[in-house]
Amino acid sequence: MSTQWGQDPYGPSSERYGPYGSSASADPYGSAEQHEAADPYGTADPYGAADPHGAPQRGAGVPDPYASLPSGLSQGRYAAPGYAVAVQPAPPSSGLGIAGFVIGLLGLTLCGTLVSPVGLVLSILGMRETSPTATSPKGGRGLTITGLILSIIGTVALLLIIAYFVVMFVIAGVAAGSGY
């Protein structure tokens, strides 16, 4: 059975029915007019009644969010619309606190705790700089506290190592003096 392009291979009956046996002219989902008439949202506007991303609509019963702000903020000179934020720049970080952190970290990892007392002193000075009661408090308090903790651990480890060698020398001296 050979068919030419444009001819229906199923014969004249396929004009009344689609390829799956149903009527080709029947809309299985109903007509577009039916759907528009039964709009569940109550509006025929496809984008909604109001733009949700547009400017806020102020009307009766809606409080003004800018009413309690100073006049410069209420006009939006210093903040974006809807936000009343006064941003202050962060204070500069404490150089002593950062140095205490770096030396405390090096004392634990690379230098075998020999520089940990130096890191302890720098971290204590950095804590004084970053204290909220300082005349001009600096930032970096978290690094300073971490440097202080690392330096304390390194200093305690250094003291334990020194105590170990002192005890070993004392035991060696006592053993040498008693003839063993």
pLDDT in tens, the chain (180 residues): 555 665 556 555 545 555 555 555 555 565 555 555 555 655 555 555 555 565 555 555 666 666 665 555 444 455 556 666 667 788 889 999 999 999 999 998 888 788 999 999 999 999 999 998 888 889 999 999 999 999 999 999 999 999 999 999 999 988 888 765
Q: What pLDDT was estimated at residue 76?
A: 47
Q: Which two tokens stand for residue 51?
A: 């733009």
d(CA 141, CA 132): 10
| Closest to 156 (Cα-Cα) out of 102, 119, 101, 125 | 119
Other CB atoms within 10 A of residue 162 CB: 11
**Strand locations in 9-127, DSSP E?**
none
Q: What is the predicted pLDDT for the residue at 116?
A: 93
pLDDT of residue 90: 83
pTM for the structure as a whole: 0.51
- 139 beta partners: 93
